Amino acid sequence: MTSLPLFYSDEVQDARATGKAIVALESTIISHGLPYPENKETARSLEAIIRAEGAVPATIAIIEGRLTIGLSERELHLLASGEVPVTKVSRRDIASVIAKGQTGATTVAATMIAAELAGIAVFATGGIGGVHRGAQQSFDISADLPELGRTNVAVVSAGPKAILDLALTMEYLETAGVPVIGFQTDELPAFWSRRSGIPLIDQVTTPEEMAEIMKVKWQAGLDGGILVANPVPQAHEIPADEIATAIEAALAAADAEGVSGKDVTPFVLSQMRDLTNGKSLITNQALVSHNAKIAAQIAVAYAAQTKA
């Protein structure tokens, strides 16, 4: 058993006590993925979407050294506004940020760790990190991937971010034993786009089917996460050929400025907003909202199927 202390909001604490479905939300997307004030509005609206489906949202972050599950208005503002320095926290950074009493926003990897500790089985995000283009040289592979290989949480996302090498990301996930399951799709979605050209061999059409796979996997002791691949709704998608030029320009800018390490993803996402005149931001918000909705439905189904 771990002794890493968790600090719950009243709403999440109550949901735990009564066995209600809970959906984890990450906070890097708030602090480093979206601009202020859209980030704060998106964070609150994701929580509302989850409640409307009959589940309870648990946004996760490290607030002044406390690993916090469910954020207050003040805590959310702290992360969104940039009034205090907010560290981007992946698995590597958790211990240090807690030990120093700092405030940090959790990535997919760090949010998965906290969610598993809190007994939360479903987590909604935008797009996971993955194998970067040119990783053969740079070695840039997101810590989200090994985490999916070891931590028991189902992550609902619109695929890996399209700035990545999607084919190599799929190879990594296969090696790590991570099921990648299309939610009502037979193709890997590519974040802003519904299609990537990469077929998925595994798919479900309902939240109940998804919950059944989670149950079988974890009851069998097959540890590790599940990637639920949920495409952005048609009305908000930017087709792959339309966004390809912007992606290449954004990656070239990162290269030219020598951006590396954990700064790459936030830098490229903000370049994308400028290069698409804000269109990528609207799509990003739409896809996260849709993921939150499907994640809540899966969490409700999973809670019903695993009730003692």
Which partner, Mn ion, ligand PSU, none, binds residue 143 by CB below 5 to 8 Å per kind?
A: ligand PSU
Nearer to Mn ion, 140 or 237 (CB): 140
Residues touching ligand PSU: how many (CB under 6 A)? 19
> Quick check: 142 and 264 in contact, CB under 8 A?
no
The two most distant CA atoms of the chain are separated, in Å, by 56
Report if residue 231 touches ligand PSU, rule: CB under 6 A.
no
> Quick check: 232 and 283 in contact, CB under 8 A?
yes
In degrees and rounded to multiples of 5, residue 201 shows phi and psi of: -85, -10
Which of 204, 205, 207, 188 lies closest to 196, judged by CA? Answer: 188
Closest separation in Å from C-beta 209 to ligand PSU: 25
Residues 132-161 that bind ligand PSU (CB under 6 A): 142-144
Closest separation in Å from C-beta 136 to Mn ion: 14
What Å distances lie between residue 47 and 212, 225, 303, CA to CA?
Answer: 25, 22, 18
Report if residue 270 touches ligand PSU, rule: CB under 6 A.
no
Per the annotation, the verdict on 161 as an active-site residue is yes
What Å distances lie between residue 151 and 91, 135, 175, CA to CA?
Answer: 11, 24, 15
**CA quadruple 187, 189, 194, 198: dihedral, nearest 10:** -40
Which of 56, 232, 238, 268 lies closest to 157, judged by CA? Answer: 232
Residues 279-298 that bind ligand PSU (CB under 6 A): 284, 288
- Applying CB under 6 A, the span of 24-32, 113-121, 178-186, 194-202 interacting with ligand PSU comes to 24-32
Nearer to ligand PSU, 126 or 207 (CB): 126
Residues 116-135 that bind ligand PSU (CB under 6 A): 125-127, 129
Per the annotation, the verdict on 307 as an active-site residue is no
Catalytic residues: 26, 161
Q: Which residues bind ligand PSU (CB under 6 A)?
A: 26, 28-29, 32-33, 107-108, 125-127, 129, 142-144, 262, 265, 269, 284, 288
